[in-house]
Amino acid sequence: KTMKELNILATATREQERYLLRFLNGYGEFKGSGFRDVVLGRVEEIDAFLRTLENLREENPIKLNPLSQIVPLEKTFLFDLSDFKDKLKEILSSYVDRIENKKFYLRVKRRGHKGEISSLEVEKEVADFIMGSLEKAGKKAQVSFNDPDCILIVETIGNWAGVGFITKDMKEKYSLIRIK
């Protein structure tokens, strides 16, 4: 699979990456990311995959011990340092309609580019851009870290990034989606 087609980022509990890969490969195609305890993969149907994990958690929670969290991804892209923010803004502007009249926040989790990309700086600049886009379109939304309706999550691994759109409903339904 090309990096572009990936739709799941999973984090292993400490030192459990090998077990996690073995476990997840029963449900899709997964591989290490090059960063400790972070694996990337593709499943056919994200909701079905999440439901399966949730059922397993209820029946036999010990099976999920190697798994710390899951981030379902809707879009992925490759970037250079010089165009990261611009590409991110372009991709996230397609979410404007989905966050209209909602409380949301943007979370950027950077792996790689230490000292070159500041997650906080990117979060602030891109969230301001999104708010500006809403305003221009005569729409409203509210940045809120307390009880948001949705979260835009951006996970970077080197020069690759994945974007997820996590709703309150998803977080309630699937305990493995733990975006802080």
Cβ neighbours of residue 13 closer than 8 Å, sequence gap 6 or more: 20, 37, 65, 66, 67, 68
Query: How wide is the angle at C-alpha 23 spanned by C-alphas 57 and 43, nearest 5°?
Result: 90
Distance CA 2, CA 5 (A): 6
Strand ranges for 92-180 from DSSP E? 103-111, 142-143, 150-157, 160-167
CA atoms within 13 A on the CB side of 88: 32
Find out whether 102 and 141 touch, Cβ atoms under 8 Å: yes
Burial class of residue 100, CB neighbours in 10 A (0-12, 13-18, 19+)? middle
| H or E element, residue 10 | strand 8-12
Query: How wide is the angle at C-alpha 87 spanned by C-alphas 46 and 9, nearest 5°?
Result: 25
**pLDDT digit of tens for each residue in the chain (180 aa)?**
466 689 999 999 999 999 999 999 999 999 999 999 999 999 999 999 999 999 999 999 999 999 999 999 999 999 999 999 999 999 999 999 999 999 999 999 999 999 999 999 999 999 999 999 999 999 999 999 999 999 999 999 999 999 999 999 999 999 999 987
Q: Note the pTM of the prediction, 2 decimals.
A: 0.93
